[in-house]
Amino acid sequence: MTPRALALARTLLSRTRAFEQAARRNGAHDDFAIREQRQKLVEKVLFTEVGLTDFAKAQLVAVAMPRNADARQHADRDLRELAEFLDRHLDWAALT
């Protein structure tokens, strides 16, 4: 896995972790709305952090994101697997 994929995976996981913690603190109960907001967050990170312009790729990454990102026991494995996924599916030469 490349350092860029690892850094992006770390960013995505930390942002989704913060989102999920905030949603729980606020007592969010609408699972559909939470999933939709989480997907938009992932897409926004991809568009702004690495300049991804392919909406279908952004959706693919959003779907591949591990659920319950704040589960500490899976954090290292989730980070590694997400970084490997990003390496396989993103064209780093085309990204900023």
Let me know: does 62 contact 37? Beta carbons within 8 Å.
no
Q: For 36, what's the count of Cα atoms within 13 Å in the CB-facing half-sphere?
A: 6
pLDDT of residue 4: 94
Instruction: Give the sign of the dihedral formed by CA 68, CA 72, CA 73, CA 75.
Output: positive
pLDDT of residue 21: 83
**Chain centre to alpha carbon of residue 78:** 11
pLDDT of residue 48: 94
Rounded to 10°, the helix 75-89/3-25 angle is 130
List per-block mean pLDDT (blocks of 10 residues) for the chain, which spans 96 residues.
93 90 79 88 94 94 79 77 95 83
Q: How far apart are CA 74 and CA 79, in angstroms?
A: 8
pLDDT of residue 24: 79
pTM of model > 0.75: yes
